[in-house]
Amino acid sequence: MLGTCFATAQQGNAALSYNRFQYHTYRWQSFHTDAFHIYFPRGYDSLCAFTVRELPGIRSLLKQRMTTELDRSPHIILYPATDQLYETNIGSLESASHTLPTVVLKGNRLVVAYEGSYDALRLQLAEAMTRAVWEEQFESGIREQLKGTILVHHKIPDWCKEGMISWFARGWTIEQEDQLQRSFTQPGFENWQEVIAFQPKLSGTAFCYYLVKRYYPQAVLQLYQQLRKKKDVNRAIRLITKKTLPETLSDCFAFYKERFQAEGSSLLTRTDWDSSIIRLKHPKGALKKLEVSADGKKAAYVIYSNKQRTIYITDLASNETVRLTSYKLPPWFGELSKDVYPVIQWKRDKQELGVIYPAKGNLVLKTYSATGTELDERTLKQVDGVRSVAFFDEHQLLLAAYRKGQSDIVVYDPRKNQYRAITNDRDDDSNPVADQRSGEVFFLSNRQLKKEHHDVSINKDSLYRAQGIFRASNLKQPLVTDTSAYIHWDQPRLLRDGSILATHTRYGQERFAYLNTSGSFKTLLSYQPFSYSSKNNLLHFYASRGDSIYLKTIAADEWLARQDGVPADTVTPWLLDYRSDAALRAKEDSILKAVRMNSEPSFLEGVLKPRNSSELGQQRKDSIYQSLQYDAARIQPYVLQLHSAYFMARVNNDYFINRYQPYQSYQGQFKFPEIGGMVQGGFTDLFEDHHFNIGYRLPAGTEGSDFFVYYQNTKKKTDWGIRYFRKVETLQPDPKRDWKDENGNEYPNSAKVKTHYYELSLHHPLSYYASIDFNTAFRKDRTVFLATEKYSLHFAPVKAAWSINTLSYHYNKLRPTLPMLYQGFNGKAVLDVFAGLQGVAKDAVYGTSIHLQYHQPIYKYITAALSLKGGHSGGKQKLLYNMGGVDHNLTVRTDSSVHFSQDAPYAFQTLVTPLRGFPQNSLFGNQYTLLNADIYFPVFQTLVPIETNFSSINQLQLGVFTDVAYAREGWRAPATGQSRIAYGLSARTLLAGYSIRVDAALPNPYSSKVRWCLSVSQ
């Protein structure tokens, strides 16, 4: 496509660009302080106020835990709901490696979303801040690239990096320990590598907790400091544990295996899962939610797989499965648990399933029959998000919904699209259940105890809120509450007799709690994900491993009867550790306080420090804290703000404007651009809705100057852009060229082509990976003959003007594996239409082309790469497809025996590569087919386990290839075609960010002459 963004020298695994969909249009507002900047939509002031209140405490805590903090003030962007992160990939491409000498100046953008809970928002902020500190400490620098050494953060395994970020942000929580324990007690693991493969982030955080408990409290901090000193993980672990990393991981596995066996309070052990349990096969992916119908005959569940979420219904008797619906997740989502969607729930009296999920910027409610037939579809228009759903009666839904930063329990009538609020306050409310006999609604909530006191930061041991189960009819008298920070209530289910089965974490583990109709409370055994069938009073416990769902069904009365006499109030190792750490902190604080109170200042202190230094320090601290307080008067409308400015000076010999060159203006030769440096600069606004770019190519040899300006608007779903490009190229002298003017005089050899190019482009996404693009452009060329002698003074310039229109379809599902290697599929189909406006025939010229790529690792990272290209041109004039050489060639060779005629019916020409082993002009025509087959062997990353201090050596890849090409001039009578075949060896690596490649090719199976190519391309 002529209007694609300018091409640059290929880099090793530059971050892939995905399409984004923007359905919401907000009026953004901003709140600025010296320490941070907050951006939020108008009407969501409560989110801003909460963030302002929490950030100082979060920053202080992270500085204490990591001993480092952000050097630059972060820009925090608040979205009203988690599904709206589907619309934005702000900052997701900023970690791409750049070629030298690129300088990128970027601000810290932290993107978070309210998901109906302020506690969850606090944790999001803490993790976002931790990640920003981490990336700032391990940021790629120009010095490291010049030196050619491996950057340490590229060598840190993802499980280690993500686990440490989670550890510094939130520590090791009950939820995480329970999740890991269930993985051990279900059909479980044999070693820690299996734990890493199951969930990398969880395994990394668990490893950090093991280091702290097995060695010393500052072990994780020491690991972080060693990584900052450019030591790899193996070396850093050895310094801390005096053992190798494999030995330490083995010890970590033994630590948790012993820890979980010691508790012994799980209802379902591994033996239970292996016997007397229904096993359901499910499509490949992670099971995230399962609900069994009221009669216990159907199971609906959600599978996460390959950035996609799918809902299925399975008949438990026949094991027949029906797929209901699915939707894609954004490819920039790094985790499977970004939000709770889709939310599923069976009706209590009918065999109908309700499903809520995001679609095109809205929340959609669909109802399905037990056989998978869609019965109804509604759009939830008055809410930002939904945390859970239940059925209030036959027609109405009971939702835990949130809007404008407020989470409430509401009754929703889909028939009238009306909401009736049961709660209406700033407290976090969720998980409602309704007693259909009495009409009473029970739900979970964090109720504020002191009206004027806000929640404290994440490092406190107690809350000023009451957490527990509340009834809508009397919020002042909850069924059960707790005020300790580590205690959480969840999963309330209303049993058939009116009693409630829920979970709590009072004893350091998520355990069942039973509240009977008389109001008595009883703690049961540890929690296992379950579903409840009200009609038959059955509990269905489930787990998943591989492609199987393990389902154990038991009557609720029988299961409750099993709990009599079973001690369920024992304290777990997690809570023992928690209390021990809290007691140690309290003891240390009291000692330090006593020392400060009883110690007298030394003589030197009395001389150098004023007596009121403590009071002055406290006043200064109070003034800083006061300046960071929320004040609605300081909120102002968001003004277009430049975010990232960059300077790039790259080796570049290919621009989009070179894809097609006018045949007459260039006098039948395809001008391969000379190597030169393109200086580029640009910036975007904070939300990446407006992109401004400018570039200037430094003159090289006899070439003239090139420059462009470009603006792109991506604020709506359909992106548009405008571009101006001016280019000057010098044609290569060719004494054998026989081109004459209208008077029959032969043109001089010395000539320049001056081009002005104006373009309007449209980009419409079809999915995150597919798009349709349309470009319309006006190109004006002027071939000027240089006055090198008296003879050349009399030749008038050759002028031409063209209208160029391009329609293209793009599909990109390539996924980077190692630098320069990918896995997946990529395709592009293009239709070009040219119309001459000046100096050429007025007939339309069209060209169609297709380009398909498939990359697949064969063994480890040994990768096969296949590429198929084809093109056809028609009309009274044609496109000349010229074949030979490689992309971004540093050793350009042209077959000087080939001279194209002035009378040939060609309007434009283009170069098709790679055809290694053959010079340019070796094969040509208005129709072509090209097949490239390569196999790459990452030498030191796959075959030879040796690592050096130089990334260019470590990233060396050897390859074998075959190129097969065919072309013909279909306008000739008779049309005859020619074919070429080449094979050979290649070597490539990354040097200063550029992919440097050497190819040695034999131009045919019987040739003994090796042809060499050197290029800066993959």
The pLDDT confidence band at residue 766, using thresholds 50, 70 and 90, is: very high
For tokens 């109802």, what's the residue?
367
* End-to-end CA separation in angstroms for the chain: 20
CA–CA distance, 172 with 130 (Å, rounded to integer): 15
Neighbour-count burial for 670-693, b at 16+ CB within 10 Å, e otherwise: bbbbebbbbebebebbbbbbbbeb
Q: How many other C-beta atoms can be found within 10 angstroms of the C-beta atom of residue 590?
A: 10
Rg from Cα positions in the chain:
34
Torsion sign, CA atoms 414, 420, 422, 426: positive
pLDDT, position 265: 45
pLDDT digits (tens, 9 = 90+) for 231-269: 889 899 999 999 999 999 999 999 998 888 755 444 455
List the structure tokens of 678: 């393109």
pLDDT digits (tens, 9 = 90+) for 79-134: 999 888 888 888 664 445 556 566 666 668 889 999 998 888 999 999 999 988 99
Mean pLDDT across 883-903: 85
**Angle of helix 245-263 relative to helix 174-185, nearest 10 degrees?**
90
CB distance 221 to 208 below 8 Å = no
CA–CA distance, 434 with 446 (Å, rounded to integer): 19
User: 294 to each of 350, 528, 605, how far by Cα in Å?
Assistant: 8, 20, 75
CA–CA distance, 88 with 21 (Å, rounded to integer): 7
Backbone angles phi, psi at 633, to 5 degrees: -70, -20
User: How many Cα neighbours within 13 Å face the side chain of 584?
Assistant: 7
Q: How many other C-beta atoms can be found within 10 angstroms of the C-beta atom of residue 564?
A: 7
Residue 662's identity, in one-letter code, is: P
Strand-strand pairing, 37-41 and 74-79? parallel
List the structure tokens of 831: 């239709």
The pLDDT confidence band at residue 465, using thresholds 50, 70 and 90, is: low
CA–CA distance, 95 with 87 (Å, rounded to integer): 20
**Between 731 and 41, whose confidence is greater?**
41
CA–CA distance, 658 with 2 (Å, rounded to integer): 8
Backbone angles phi, psi at 254, to 5 degrees: -65, -35
**Between 339 and 144, whose confidence is greater?**
339
CA–CA distance, 689 with 715 (Å, rounded to integer): 5
Residues 6+ apart with CB under 8 A from 901: 668, 738
CA–CA distance, 689 with 26 (Å, rounded to integer): 13
Backbone angles phi, psi at 763, to 5 degrees: -130, 115
Mean pLDDT score of the chain, rounded to an integer? 83
- pLDDT exceeds 60 at position 149: no
User: How many Cα neighbours within 13 Å face the side chain of 813?
Assistant: 12
- pLDDT exceeds 60 at position 702: no
Torsion sign, CA atoms 336, 341, 342, 348: positive
pLDDT digits (tens, 9 = 90+) for 388-438: 998 888 788 899 999 999 999 999 998 888 899 999 888 889 999 988 778
